[in-house]
Amino acid sequence: MGIQEIEQVLKEEQWTRASASAFTVANFETFDRLIEHLDDEQKIEARDMCERHIRDREKNSVVAHYINGVLSIQRKGSENFLPLLNLIELFSEHKRWNIVEYLAQKILNKSENRHALRLLAQSYEATGKHEKKIELWERLVNVDYEEVDILKQLGTYALEAGKTEKAVSYFKKTINRLLKRKDFTPIRQIHEIVIANDPHQFDYSMNLAEQIAATSNSSAVAILRDAAEAYKKDDVDQMIEIQKRILTLDRDDAIARDQLIKSYRKKYKEHSRLESCLESSALVGMIARDVLLSIEDFETNIAFDKGTFVFQNSTGRIGRIRSIDETDVIVDFAGQATTQGSRLSTNMAFKSLQALPKSHIWVLKSALPKQRLYDKVKNDIPWTLNILMSSNGGQSNLRDMKAELVPSILEAKEWTSWMNQAKKELMANPLFDLSPTDSDVYLLRSTPISYEEKQLSIFRSERDFYDKIRRLREFISNKGDVESDYFLEMVGFFSEFFFEENGVSKPIVVTNDVIMSSYLLLEELVKKQGMHFVALPEAIGFVDLFERSEDIYEVFVPIRDSELKKSFIDHIVDEIPSWPKVLIEIFPGYLTSYIPDIFRQNKKNADLLKLYKDAVENFKDKGATLIYLLRNGDKKVWDKSGYTKEQLLYIQLQLLDAVNRYIDAKRDAPENRKNSKALMNLLFDDKQIFTCIEEGDEENAQRIYSLVANVFNLPGGKKIEVKHAISVRFPGFKFFDEAPVSQREAFVPTGLFCTAASLEAKKKELDYIQHVELPEIAKEIGAAREMGDLRENSEYKYGKEKQTLIQNNLRRLSEEIDRASVVTPDMVDGSKVGFGTKVTLMDNLKGEEVTYTIMGQWEANPNENIINISAPFGRELVNHEVDERFTFTINEQSYDFTVKKIEKIDF
């Protein structure tokens, strides 16, 4: 019925040749009711009908454009706003403002479309709805990153309304956008407004000038001159910094030079050598000299005065100036034997000494008791960071900090803990910032940085795409101002993949995980976080990105954000008809219950079964998937798969052999080591293999042993364990790789014989090394690596040496376990000397009896006469019987024994 009615209104429009002026809001409400009654198939038919009508009959049809436009924005993942935008422009030309508002709201209910916002704002301006216009402008500037004029007008309106803080924020956003355009001319006027209304913008002004100077020195000087005028009654140090910066940009600026001299006179008015320092540096007088060299000389010379702390470059000593005049400087150095002090000529002093403030770390090391300074550094990390940075020109990195603190204040073993606390402080404290040019360098600020500005600095410093996503999520979760320009710049990083500088969508030639993740993130911000000011790409959707992906698995797997992966999967289910096949394909890239649960919720049990079978049939390529399903899968699905427990065990052993060979060939070694460990846990730690031996028949045991014996690089005596389990279960079992031996040769010491208890103890030792000692040393090495230059990093070198020792111990122990042969009490022959026996011998040379217990190398203890059967002495004792006399020589020492008694021992 709905399709016929739509066809009818299209005909009526054509017959009456209705113009734009003939339509009312009521007409569009009627069209909406017609659309509401359409099902999905009818919507497709209606859209095709409208497109044909426009193409073949009436290209300016309002009804066809409207119905097509509404249906287009309802298409999930592929919204097209152009038909409605064209209608809004049409009705704007006819000044039908109520229809303009109705149509614009249709779009804005779906997306913060910048064109719809602008057109609706123009409508409100035309109808005198000032407050509504302002509200729309505020939304518009948050999605149109190129808009400047409206942003400036918002600042003006806020200033007129007495909202100074809000006005300053708008003006600074305007400046930021003009900077991106490199349009410096309007910036000066706006900057004047900022500093006139907020006297605490010194750091902002200096940073602004720095950014402008990269392109235009003259524009930067103008900004600095305005700042000097605004801050001239404030801190004299700020004035000095401004004038020095101007002279750096323009060395011939006479005004800045005169102002700098006045500032120096004001700051050092009590200094005994002020005038002589000005004259000798040629800042004043008739001597022509590079002003920057004069400034450097002046600040070097003026730093020296009575009571000033100094550092002697040649000796590394700290001292304090006792007296100074035009010819001599007398310094009292720490630890100096004489009470007369050290006399240096003034020229020599300026060359060999470095003036230090009282708070310099070197001064504190020299002047404070060591324990007091240690306690302060250990317990007051913000203070320590401030001292270290101010001692290094207001900046430092962790490597330099360590060099200053270790070992003079902190011990090497204390550094890692202190450094971790310092990192947290550097990230959280608003007085510390990150260098915009070097992410390893931290800056000390004179004024606190806002949370939003600092998070932007951290965001910029992140080199990894997914770390940037993590930082953006932290910004939101920590309640950062999401309407700030700082947040918008973060969002802009992801938006720029889709928008050119003019804000128009651009075609995506090659898609990848970065572009897909950017789209999904922007969509999440708009639809889940409610940030309608974030611009979504309007001419592209998930389906478009999906269809342009040559290998969807290669797009999905690299996405290192679980929420984005879930969103990706949800889109697949909602928008891709063949979604079960796609989910089976990408499941190895997201081994959680999320995808299996979707199959269950949608009653796709046959497809879920395919997923299980696919993992088994392709186990060498999908080893991690099979392991996941074996550990976490649904037992009911496994029961329906057609694979028995024995068959799955055989496949696991074949997979273990394959992954071990991959490791040896260095093929995806980290992933395969993980798979090997997981398989070892399933087969041996979880006792699957032993349960299967216990519950199966001898043929099953033969199959298991055959597979186990052929597993490449099977570690730690596992073959021996399996062999022992089979021997216990089937006493007469014939092992294919074991040659028959005579009864007398059964325990000839050619291997490493041991008890089951000793083997278990060694396996625990091996496990402890693998899972405790090695991870701990790896963690220590990782922390040491973060300290900087590895060539001078003693903690790193010590850690690597320790790691090598542990790895060597691990290798030795693993090889021993692999060679081990477990001897059980029932295997011991008490009629002759051998493993597990206690023998009493007559020492015919000494005329006395001696008793020895014969065991393996792990149980041996010579101090208690427990002899290693594999040692030279042990090998000479074995296989002799009661009353048998035998002699031998070891290391030129002769032995003559007669066997008196042989006993089997309990073990």
Instruction: Give me the pLDDT at residue 1, please.
Output: 52
For residue 195, what is the enclosing H or E element?
A: helix 185-197
Count CB atoms within 10 A of the CB of residue 66. 22
Q: Which amino acid is at 133?
A: K
Spell out the residues 6+ positions from residue 889 whose beta carbon is closer than 8 angstroms to its own: 895
Peptide bond into 407 cis (omega under 30): yes
- Report the chain's mean pLDDT, rounded to a whole number: 87
**Is pTM beyond 0.75 here?**
no
Asked whether the beta carbons of 394 and 431 are under 8 A apart, the reply is: no
Collapsing DSSP to helix, strand or coil, 861 comes out as: strand
C-beta of residue 680 within 8 angstroms of C-beta of residue 716: no
Residue 233 vs residue 433, higher pLDDT: 433
pLDDT tier, 792 (very low <50, low <70, confident <90, very high otherwise): low
Structure tokens at 100: 């303009």
- Which residues does residue 886 pair with via DSSP β-bridges, in sequence order? 897
SS3 321: strand
Closest by CA position to 660, among listed 722, 715, 716: 715
pLDDT of 498 above 90: no
- The amino acid that residue 760 corresponds to is E
What span, in angstroms and rounded, lies between the C-alpha atoms of 751 and 771? 28
Please state the rounded mean pLDDT for residues 597-616: 93
pLDDT at residue 738, as a whole number: 62
Q: Mind listing the pLDDT tens digit for each residue in 691-749?
A: 999 999 999 999 999 899 889 988 757 887 888 889 888 988 888 766 444 443 434 44
The answer, yes or no, to whether residue 510 has pLDDT greater than 50, is no
Q: What is the pLDDT of residue 559?
A: 95
What pLDDT does 481 receive? 80
**pLDDT at residue 133 in the model:** 95
894 strand-pairing partners: 889
Lowest mean pLDDT among 136-140, 167-171, 713-717: 713-717
The helix (H) or strand (E) run that includes residue 813 is: helix 794-819
Pairing between strand 309-312 and 318-324?
antiparallel
Could you give the percent of the chain with pLDDT greater than 90?
51
Q: Residues near 203 by Cβ (< 8 Å), separated by ≥ 6?
A: 445, 446, 447
Tell me the average pLDDT across 598-608.
92
Confidence band, pLDDT 50/70/90 cuts, at residue 816: confident
CB of 583 closer than 8 Å to CB of 591? no
CB contact at 8 A, 331 and 325: no
DSSP secondary-structure letter at 307?
T
Angle at the Cα of 702 from the Cα atoms of 698 and 703, rounded to 5 degrees: 120
Query: What's the angle, vertex CA 818, arms to CA 812 and CA 819, rounded to 5?
Result: 95
CA 499, CA 538: separation in Å to the nearest integer? 10
Mean pLDDT of 60-80: 81
Q: Between β-strands 432-434 and 353-356, what pairing exists: parallel, antiparallel or unpaired?
A: unpaired
At 550 the pLDDT is: 86
| pLDDT score, position 614 | 94
* Radius of gyration in angstroms for the set of CA atoms belonging to the chain, rounded to a whole number: 41
> What pLDDT score was predicted for residue 787?
61
Residues in CB range of 801: below 8 A, 6 or more apart: none
Q: Closest by alpha carbon to 855, among 835, 833, 839, 875? A: 835
CA distance 660 to 669: 9
pLDDT the model gives residue 666 = 87
| Average pLDDT estimate for 559-582 | 95
Residue 84 predicted with pLDDT over 70: yes
Q: How does residue 351 score in pLDDT terms, banded at 50, 70 and 90?
A: confident
Q: Say what the pLDDT of residue 305 is.
A: 87
